[in-house]
Amino acid sequence: MESASSRLADVNANIARACKPARRAPAEVTLIAVSKTHDAPAIRPLIDAGQRVFGENRVQEAGAKWPALREAHPDIVLHLIGQLQSNKADEAVALFDAIHSLDRPSLLTALARAMDKAGRQVPCFVQVNIGDEPQKGGCPLANLPAFLAEVRATAIPLAGLMCIPPAGTEAAPFFALLAKLAADHGVTGLSMGMSGDYETAVILGASHVRVGTALFGAR
């Protein structure tokens, strides 16, 4: 099996290659290494290879793994990319440096309160239900303008928009739509692209790509 450092080098090279036709600089793209379900021995080689930005989708799992890993590397940056329940807002604010799943007013209220209490403002991406899928998380497209206004009325730094395109479809049109929505609403960050489509996301303007399988192997 390929080593973690060579997989990391491959992903970074692919990001740099995708930047070229888009006339973007690779430094404009942050690679979030999605380490969910992987344990510390699987994560350490990537840290040793220089990766510092990681993503987790569960507060509890991240809380169990990361404090120890971070002790040796205080410069590690941790992103929450999964759905967040309002009752875990305090824990999430204490643990994460960015949150990608802000998608509803009740969570906005809980996060604003948790951040005030902690004296720590954590940048948040507003997750958009880009395919208008009934069961999926994310702010419905129709509610996005009003919800962005609500977010902007708080002290929470708005980091950008985030999406997970519908499974089994071509992702590019959804990435392009997210980029259009961000431009229309004056938002700069774009969290989009996973192992199967991160190069496409980079070409279409992603500021953050969330890559798990291509770095860690299958879960």
User: How near is the Cβ of 162 to ligand PLP at its closest, in Å?
Assistant: 8
What does the DSSP 8-state code read for residue 23? T
Strands 189-191, 139-140: pairing kind: unpaired
Residue 1 tokens, joined: 């099996």
# residues near ligand PLP by CB under 6 A:
13
Tokens 């590019």 sit on residue: 172
Q: How many whole angstroms separate alpha carbon 30 and alpha carbon 33?
A: 10
Q: Is 164 in the site for ligand PLP (CB under 6 A)?
A: yes
Q: Which of the ranges 8-16, 17-25, 66-74, 207-215 carries the binding residues for ligand PLP, by CB under 6 A?
A: 207-215
Burial tier of 13 (Cβ tally within 10 Å: 0-12, 13-18, 19+): exposed
Q: Which of residues 4-63 bind ligand PLP (CB under 6 A)?
A: 34, 36, 57
Dihedral sign, CA of 95, 120, 162, 194?
negative
SS3 158: strand
x/- mask, ligand PLP, residues 186-205, rule CB under 6 A, reads: --------xx----------
Does position 81 interact with ligand PLP (CB under 6 A)? The reply is: yes
Rounded CA-CA distance 12/31 in Å is 8
* 124 near ligand PLP (CB under 6 A): no
Tell me the residue nearest to ligand PLP as measured from the CB: 212
Q: Using CB under 6 A, which of the segments 11-19, 89-97, 165-173, 209-217 binds ligand PLP?
A: 209-217
- Only one of the segments 106-114, 169-177, 199-207, 211-219 lies at the binding site for ligand PLP (rule: CB under 6 A); that segment is 211-219
What is the spatial distance between Cα 26 and Cα 16, in angstroms, rounded to a whole number?
5
- The footprint of ligand PLP (CB under 6 A) covers 34, 36, 57, 81-82, 164, 194-195, 210-214
